[in-house]
Amino acid sequence: MKGKISVKEERCKGCGICSYFCPKQVLRVDELGKIRVIKPEDCIACGQCELRCPDYAIFVDRVAEQKEKSEV
């Protein structure tokens, strides 16, 4: 399972809780104090960022991984 992360920037206060709990370090607080998705391809859709965000600024959509042609 992969994830597609969307961030509501107007809600984010840059606390960094989401990046702290991300097991794949997909998120990081930028120099402006807002969360950024820096490695979207590494997201495993665990939802820890979404669950922990106190401002409801992060949403994770779960997406099935595409199989490579050799697996089909």
Residues 3, 25, 48, 14, CA torsion sign = negative
**Which domain covers residue 8, as residue numbers?**
2-71
Number of domains in the chain: 1
**What whole-number distance in Å separates Cα of residue 66 and Cα of residue 2?**
9
Read off the pLDDT of residues 18-38 as tens digits, 9 standing for 90 and up: 999 999 999 999 998 899 999
Contacts of 53 (CB under 8 A, 6+ apart): 17, 18
% of the chain exceeding 70 in pLDDT: 92
pTM over 0.85: no
Question: What mean pLDDT value characterizes the chain?
Answer: 91
pLDDT given for residue 42 in this prediction: 95
Q: Residue 41: which CATH number?
A: 3.30.70.20
